[in-house]
Each structure stands twice: as structure tokens, then as C-alpha cells.
A and B are shown apart, each in its own frame.
Chain A
Amino acid sequence: MSMIEIEQVSKWYGQFAVLTDCTTHVNKGEVVVVCGPSGSGKSTLIRCVNGLEPIQQGTILVNGMTLTDPKTNLSKLRSHVGMVFQNFELFPHLSVFDNLTIGQIKVLGRSKDEAAARGLKMLERVGLKAQAEKYPGALSGGQQQRVAIARALAMDPICMLFDEPTSALDPEMVTEVLDVMVELATEGMTMMCVTHEMGFARKVADRVIFMDHGRIVEDAAKDDFFGTPRSERAQLFLSKILHH
């Protein structure tokens, strides 16, 4: 069963086509990695999946609900879709604890106790229980991103979207974030990840999507993608990021 269905999606900024006729899907429990050169539209595509960017053509379905239908309650849909951003986007005026509980209380309507229990459990899961009372500014980048993942997980999402979660991190902090993501993937979470971390893709991805100039150039099972990418551009891209 498809968790995310993207059908013939196109998007323009004025005359400039950011996405052209993109079609793909993510099945339940599947981990799909989206890669490609910068400016290829991969971040835009994943931001479209929970409606942060409007699209001009095509349809996107998440868990059977049509995102592009004006009747769909977008906020409600988003509350079930976890999203992790390149720049963490923790709320700097709230403590880590409040970051983890605010969505649960204000959006899901959970009680304070319930939200606290769930939030702390997720924080423990990413190994940061001791930091609950701190403010995001007091944490390292890697810690902030782990809190951001915990914040998304605390909402009990049906799937997770990652938009270059390790790109803004110092190299030594990349692993701690990837470890959390690998663990999530092996537990069966449905994930769509925009990332350049090919080691992560090799380890846990089911499929790899390669984008260039706003088009999905390659959409293949992991082994096929890393074994014999069909398109020249994907071969070039892989040779550039794998051999250095």
C-alpha cells in the first residue's frame, strides 16, 4: 500500500520550472532516499509532500488523502507527517521539553502528562534525556537535530520526511544523527529522505530516486541504483560523490 503518492507533479516559480512531471510513490514501511545535485528540486519535492510548497499541476496523496484537494484539512494531515529540516528549526524561545510537547498539547490535544511522558520517551530514544530543561541554543547542531527528530516522533507520525537533515552539521556530528535515522528505518518507519549520505542509502534505503533539473531521472531499487545506474547523469553524480 502506498503511503505517499506523487503523480505528475509540476511546479513553477514564475517562468522557471522547479519540478517537471514528477511521479513516484513511497510504500508503507519503505525507506526512499532522494538525491541529486543542488538545485535539482529534491528539497522542493519533499516540501510539497506536506504542503509547505504549493504545486501548480498534478496530485499528491498521503495516506490516501489528497493534499491538493482544497477540502483536505492540511493542518490535520501535517500533524501525522513528521518533518525534519536542514536547519533543525527548533523553537528557540522554548525549552527542549516544551519543543517536544507543544505540538502534542496544542495540535493533538493530549494532556500535559501524556505529552510529557511521550516527549521524554522520545528524547530518551535519541539519547538526550538529560537535556530536557535546556534551550535549543545551548545544544550542539547534532543534538538539536536529534531533538528535532524526537519532536517529530512525539507526534506519532505515520511517515517521516527528512529534508537534508545532516547538511548543516559539522562532519563529526553527522553520525549521531544518521544512527538515529538508521534505527528508525530498521524499525519499519516509512521514510522519505533527501540526503547526500550515500552510506545511509546503501545501509537502509529500499529505493533511491535521483533528480536533476526538476525531473525524476532515476527511480530504482537500491542495488540497481548503486550497481548500474541507467542514466549518464546519475552515473556522473555517483562517481563525483562516492570517490573523493
Chain B
Amino acid sequence: MYEFDWTSIPGALPILGSGMLMTLRLTLVAMVVGILWGTLLALARLSGNRMLGWLAAGYVNLFRAVPLVMVILWFYLIVPTLLKDWAGLGAGTDIRMASALVAFALFESAYYSEIIRAGVRSVPRGQVNAAQALGMAYTQTMRLVVLPQAFRNMLPLLLTQAIILFQDTSLVYVIGLADFFGAAYKVGDRDGRLVELLLFSGAVYFVLCFGASLLVRRLQKRIAV
């Protein structure tokens, strides 16, 4: 039978910790940028402007129809070339983090935009009329009346998506970034204790994600009342 040996974990905690920091950073940036860009995409699709709506729908459908791991690789291969041309970066600069951030933000915004679009449509038409009747312009109506209510309605869904995103960031291992999962893998590989490290990191993911989803469920109940 396999002999478990957990002794390499305590010494690896600093590395795992910095890996977790990278995971959280990726999650946070992708979430914030994804929500902002996703809101614009959602508004474009709801605007009634054919061209804008068509472009936004194309974007959303494209990103939702390709595997995330592929998008990460694309941006890893594309972003360096662009950055070299635009920002004049040297060939030696490490752009893995930048390309991962861009990939996640753009990919997540496609999912966020669908959540936000549903949220905006959940606000009754009468609210828009009331805002317009007060003399509010379109952007004021959206910013002051519709979006605050929409975000409140969809907060649980946005957070659930963030939990999925938190797990998905582990895919950056394909470009060799040491996020939490990548760090655990590297330590396990180095010490010949891959099984223990993978079990340990899995347990950490489980505790964090399950805990967060319990919090979301509680929040959902409070909002519903």
C-alpha cells in the first residue's frame, strides 16, 4: 500500500502561499475587469443598436464556445508579440502573468455579460419609465436606477461565477505560472510527493470554494427577503 508522507508540506507553505496570492490576484483582476467589460457588452446587446448588438453577441458566443485552456495559450502566444510592438518590451520580459490576466479578463467578461444581461432584464420596465419621466438620460437611467437594482439581483450569480473562476485559474499551469496549483505541483514534483501535494491543494480548493458557496447561499437568502 502507498505510504503517505506529508512532511514536505510545512516547508513548502511559503511557496504555496505566494502561489495562492497569484491565484487570488488572477481571480480578482479577471473578476473586476470581467464585470466592467461584461457590463459594457451586456449594454451593447441591450442597446437596440444592431451593429453594436451583433458585435457583442459575436464576442460572447466566440469566447463561450472555445475551451478556456486554449484561450490562455492563444494569449500567451499573441500578447508578447503585441506588447513588443506597442510597448517596446524586450524579448526577455516575463509576460506570462500579463497574458494570463488578459486571457482571463476577456474570457470571463463573456460569461459575466450574460449574467449582467439577465440582471438588467430582471428590472421592471416601469423603473426605466419612471427614471425617464424624471428627465434622466439613458446613461443616467442605467447608472442610477437600472444597474444598481440589477447588480443586487444578480449578486449571488456573480459571486458563484467568481468561485468557478477561482478554480479555473489553475489552468495557468499550461504556461508554467506558479499559481497555487502550479506551486503545489512543482513542490510535489521536486520532492517526489506529487500525490500528497495534489491531495492537499485539492483540499484547500474544496474548503475555500465550498465555504464561499455557503456564504453566497446565505447572502441569497438575505436578498430574497
Q: Which of A79, A91, A151, A152 has the most CB of B within 10 A?
A: A91
Q: Digit string of A41-64 for contact with B (CB within 8 Å is 1, else 0)?
A: 000000100111000000000000
Chain B residue total in the interface (Cβ 8 A): 17
* Inter-chain contact total with CB atoms closer than 8 Å: 59
Which residues of A are interface residues toward B (Cβ below 8 A)? 47, 50-52, 75-83, 85, 87, 89-93, 102-103, 106-108, 151-152, 155
How long is the Cα–Cα vector from A160 to B144 in the complex, in angstroms? 23
With A103-B135, A107-B140 as contacts: A87 and B126 at CB distance below 8 Å = yes
B136 within 8 A of A: yes
Residues of A within 8 A of B149 (CB): 91-93
Query: Which chain A residue shows the least CB distance to B126?
Result: A89
Question: Which residues of chain B in 124-141 are interfacial with respect to chain A, using CB atoms and an 8 Å cutoff?
Answer: 126-127, 129-137, 140
How long is the Cα–Cα vector from A50 to B134 in the complex, in angstroms? 10
How long is the Cα–Cα vector from A226 to B127 in the complex, in angstroms? 36
How long is the Cα–Cα vector from A59 to B43 in the complex, in angstroms? 31
Which residues of B are interface residues toward A (Cβ below 8 A)? 126-127, 129-137, 140, 144-145, 148-149, 152
B136 touching A106, Cβ below 8 Å: yes
Residues of B within 8 A of A152 (CB): 133
Query: Which chain A residue shows the least CB distance to B138?
Result: A75
B135 touching A83, Cβ below 8 Å: no
List the 10 shortest-distance A-B pairs measured between CB atoms, nearest first. Answer: A79-B135, A89-B130, A103-B134, A83-B133, A107-B135, A78-B135, A89-B126, A75-B137, A93-B148, A75-B135
Residues of A within 8 A of B137 (CB): 75
How long is the Cα–Cα vector from A77 to B132 in the complex, in angstroms? 10
Query: Which chain B residue shows the least CB distance to A89?
Result: B130
Given contacts A50-B133, A89-B129, 9 further A-B contacts (CB under 8 A): A51-B132, A78-B134, A85-B133, A91-B130, A91-B131, A93-B149, A106-B140, A106-B144, A107-B134
Residues of A within 8 A of B136 (CB): 75, 103, 106-107
Residues of A within 8 A of B148 (CB): 93
Residues of A within 8 A of B144 (CB): 102, 106
Residues of B within 8 A of A102 (CB): 134, 144
Query: Which chain B residue shows the least CB distance to A107?
Result: B135
Residues of A within 8 A of B127 (CB): 89, 91
Q: Which of B129, B148, B149 has the most CB of A within 10 A?
A: B129
Output the least CB separation between A96 and chain B (Å).
14
Output the least CB separation between A48 and chain B (Å).
12
Contact of B132 among A78, A80, A155 (CB under 8 A): A78
Q: Which of B130, B134, B137, B140 has the most CB of A within 10 A?
A: B134
A selection of 27 A-B contacts at a CB cut-off of 8 Å is A52-B132, A52-B133, A75-B135, A75-B136, A76-B135, A77-B135, A78-B134, A78-B135, A79-B134, A79-B135, A81-B133, A82-B133, A83-B133, A85-B130, A85-B133, A87-B126, A90-B130, A91-B145, A91-B149, A92-B149, A93-B152, A102-B134, A106-B136, A107-B135, A108-B135, A152-B133, A155-B134
Residues of B within 8 A of A50 (CB): 133
Residues of B within 8 A of A92 (CB): 149
How long is the Cα–Cα vector from A92 to B152 in the complex, in angstroms? 11
Residues of B within 8 A of A90 (CB): 130
Residues of B within 8 A of A52 (CB): 129, 132-133
Query: Which chain B residue shows the least CB distance to A51?
Result: B132
Output the least CB separation between B19 and chain A (Å).
39
Query: Which chain A residue shows the least CB distance to B145?
Result: A91
Residues of A within 8 A of B132 (CB): 51-52, 75, 78
Output the least CB separation between A181 and chain B (Å).
17
Query: Which chain B residue shows the least CB distance to A50?
Result: B133
How long is the Cα–Cα vector from A240 to B87 in the complex, in angstroms? 78
Output the least CB separation between B21 and chain A (Å).
35
